[in-house]
Amino acid sequence: MNPTLKRWLPVLVLPPILLLDGLLSDSGGNDQDVNALGVVITYLAVLPLLWRERLGFFALAPLLVGGVVALLWSYGPGTTVVAIPAWALFELARRNGRRETIIAAVALPPCVLASLLPFHMSGAEMISTLLRNLALCELALAVGYVMWHNRTALARDRAAHDADSERRLGEERLRIAREVHDVVAHAMVAINVQSGVAAHLLDQDTEQAREALLQIKRTSGEALNDLRATLGVLRDPDQAAPVGPTAGLEDLDTVAAQLRAAGVEVTIDVAGAELVPTPVGSASYRIVQEALTNVLRHAHARRATVMVRADPETLSLVITDDGVGGPYVPPDLSEEWGGEEPPPRRRPSTNGGGSGAGVRGMRERATALGGVLAAGPAEGGGWRVEAALPLAPARSAS
């Protein structure tokens, strides 16, 4: 509804009703007929409703009571005159809520009584009129309050829904960022190392240089396929996520082969893989992939070891290398799932260091499954990444 029309609606609607009541009623407060003065008084009595959105109850009540008394003295529309305060009370409760509604409900009986006192009524008639007008005004308050309550509840539910959508969007954004980082970073690091190997061996060992170039081709092809699948979901909101088999613990040898092609000796030791559900296996693969990528990117290592152990309750991952580490600090790997962990530590690097996004992404993957992850210098040199992921919740979810 147009705001101006909504504001003027009671001034346009109520006076004709009151005047018609005065014309048809013969039980008014006096014997006067409706005349020009009565019409003016009618509109003046309703006019304060124009400011019903600005004036509080205690400012509006005297104006309305005065108008009602003037109307009753003028030509006595006794049946419908209660519509004036009822309209105001309805609007007050609908806009302002519980506090204003309670104040108005408590202050209403004296106001209704004050509007009736100037008239000479018998006791029974006074009580009957008082109760009738009071009931109608209280009903208007109740209806207005119910509308306010429903509107507030709807706004609260909408805000909660928006907050939940924002949270889910943020989680999805982080998940996609991790996926893109894992795919691109690992592939680019492997390609960078292998292209260096190929350039170095091109004039010395053409066969090994050719193998390095073929490995670059395979790595880039796999990265492009993974990236195309991820971006395809983003490009088309109606497109379902890829349903093909996701990488898991059985694919760790592929990651190890890329490091071996770059000259790093990698040992993979997996036990209990059959106990690991798909979500945990996929996250574990990405954690190991990122840890080994960091070996290539930062460690200048010659050897790396991946140890995976699974029992019915827990999957443990330990990735170590003999490259650049730092002062040893015992890992803070809490046994309490979801316990507080220290901020990700950046690894000293042979190529200028990184942003810490890799360790942060590994930790986010572990935390998303209710697990924990710690990364830091290993005792005796090198670097160590250790994670513990619960299997029972993931198994029941899958």
The answer as to whether 229 is a domain residue is no
Query: Do residue 147 and residue 10 come from a single domain?
Result: yes
Q: Is 211 among the domain residues?
A: no
What pLDDT score does 103 carry?
83
- For residue range 64-103, what is the model confidence (pLDDT) as tens digits? 666 666 666 655 555 667 777 788 788 888 888 888 888 8
pTM for this one? 0.50
Q: Give the end of a domain, one of 161, 185, 200.
A: 161
pLDDT at 188 over 70: yes
The lowest-confidence range among 14-28, 45-59, 253-267, 384-398 is 14-28
Q: Would you state the pLDDT for residue 344? A: 47
Tally of structural domains, the chain: 2
CB 218 within 8 A of CB 258: no
In a domain, 186, yes or no: no
Here the tokens at position 61 are: 């009540």
- Strand ranges across the sheet with 372-377: 265-271, 303-310, 314-321, 383-390, 372-377
pLDDT band at 336 (very low <50, low <70, confident <90, very high): very low
Together in a domain, 134 and 260: no
Instruction: Provide the terminal-to-terminal Cα distance of the chain, rounded to the nearest Å.
Output: 52
**Quick check: 110 pLDDT over 60?**
yes
- What whole-number distance in Å separates Cα of residue 322 and Cα of residue 303? 6
CA dist 367 → 108, 280, 306 (Å):
58, 11, 20
Residue 274 is assigned to a structural domain of this protein: yes
Instruction: Output 31 or 212, whichever has higher pLDDT.
Output: 212
pLDDT per position as a tens digit, 118-163: 766 678 878 888 888 888 888 988 998 999 999 999 999 999 999 9
Asked if residues 193 and 262 have their Cβ atoms less than 8 Å apart, the reply is yes
- Please say whether the beta carbons of 389 and 286 come within 8 A: no
Q: What is the pLDDT of residue 337?
A: 43
For 263, phi then psi, to 5°, come to: 100, 10
Boundary of a domain, candidates 161, 195, 214: 161
What is the residue-averaged pLDDT of the chain?
77
Token digits of residue 277 = 């559900």
Q: CATH number of the domain at 390, please.
A: 3.30.565.10
**Residue 341 within a domain:** yes
Q: What is the mean pLDDT of residues 281-303?
A: 86
Q: Which of 137, 161, 185 is the last residue of a domain?
A: 161
Residues 174-183 pLDDT 10s: 777 777 777 7
Provide the domain limits for residue 120. 3-161
Tokens of 73: 């003295």
